[in-house]
Structure formats: C-alpha cells, structure tokens
Amino acid sequence: MPRVGLTPDQVVDHALALIDNQGTEALTLAAVATRAGVATPSLYKHVSGGLGELRRLVAVRVTEELADRLAEAAVGRSGDDAVSAVLRAYQAYAAEHPHRYSALPQAPQPDDDLTRAATRLVGVIVAVLRGCGLDGSEAIHAARTVRSLAHGFASLTIGGAFQLAEDLTTTHDRLITTLTTGLHTWPGTTEA
C-alpha cells in the first residue's frame, strides 16, 4: 500500500526539486525515494512504470507549467504586446528553472497526457499569433518561428553561450522587436 499522503503528484514534486537542485542527470528512483522518505521499491506503488514513467510525468508537468506561464502572460494582451509578453514569460521560466527547462521535451513521444500538454503549449502561441492576423498554416509556420526563437535563446542563455559584456535583456528585447516587426509583414497576415 502506498505511503499515506504520498501521491504521484508529490513524487513528481520531489523529482522536480531534485532536478532543480542537481540537474536532470541526477534523476533516479533512489534519489527521489530518499527525498520522499520511502524505500526505492515503494515508488513503484506511486509511479508504476519506474524511472521512464517518472520522466514522462516530469515532462508533462514542465510542459503544463510552461503553458500556464505563457497563457497567464498573454491574458488581456494582443498583437505585439502579447507576443512580447509570451516571449518574456518563456525566457523567465527557462531562467528561473534552467534544469527543469532541460526536461522539457522538444519532440514528445506519443502519449496522451504529454500530447495534451504540448498541444496546449503550442495552442497558446497560435492563439497569440491569431491576434496578430495569422491563421491556418501561416500561424503554424509563425508558431514554429516563435518556438525556435524562444527555445534557442533560452537554451543558449542557460548553456552560458553569451559571454560578451553586452546586456542580455537588451539582446532579448531586440530579438522580440525583430520578430514582432517581421510578423507585421508575414505572408498571409491580415496586415500584410
């Protein structure tokens, strides 16, 4: 019988705390069990698929967190303001949780929960782009552009790639301006 009070969500909480402190490489059942105060075999009562299932649950949670952050940033905004807010929220999430961000799957494996979370994440971006006059396949192309820009900047920043003295916030601001300016002339926009 599972330990009273320990749920799969709490196991994921412990896994995320471990990832936040030590990185994704530190994620093992033994390490999570220690954090949760249970024996390693006991975790199978809470996460029946072992480490693979735990990684899947972590990926779902991180994807949901990022989707929540982007959706919250977009509320009440439209156009350039919404795009800017979403990109800033994306970067803020990655900067606040660099190890957790690395657990974000870029190409989720077929899985209902992960697909649902990823669809919601992309859906937030597509909804923001609809507010910029993009729809259909052009909104998808633009969403891919937004994701590429956001993920690229986040990954490079987290990885310590930007070593020159110039301020990263200024670089990010210019990146956002470049994107929003480009969206005004994007093929298929109602503005173009």
Domains belonging to the chain, first-starting first, are 1-48 (1.10.10.60), 59-184 (1.10.357.10)
Angle at 85 between CA 82 and CA 89, to 5 degrees: 140
Give residue 43's pLDDT. Answer: 87
Amino acid at 96: E
The answer to whether 45 and 98 have CB atoms below 8 angstroms apart is no
Using alpha carbons, select from 9, 20, 18, 185 the residue that is nearest to residue 97: 20
Check whether 121 has a pLDDT greater than 60. Answer: yes
% the chain with pLDDT above 90: 76
Q: Tens of pLDDT along 153-186?
A: 999 999 888 888 888 999 999 999 999 999 999 9
Predicted confidence at residue 192, as pLDDT, reads 47
Residue 191 has pLDDT above 90, yes or no: no
What letter represents residue 11's amino acid?
V
What's at 54, amino acid-wise? Answer: L
State residue 108's pLDDT score. 64
**Phi/psi at 146 (nearest 5 deg)?**
-60, -45
Cα-to-chain-centroid distance, residue 105: 8
Mean pLDDT lowest for which of 8-22, 94-108, 169-183? 94-108
Q: Where are the beta strands (DSSP E) in 12-154?
A: none
Cα distances (angstroms) measured from residue 8 to each of 32, 44, 53, 91 = 12, 10, 10, 28
State the chain's mean pLDDT as an integer: 91
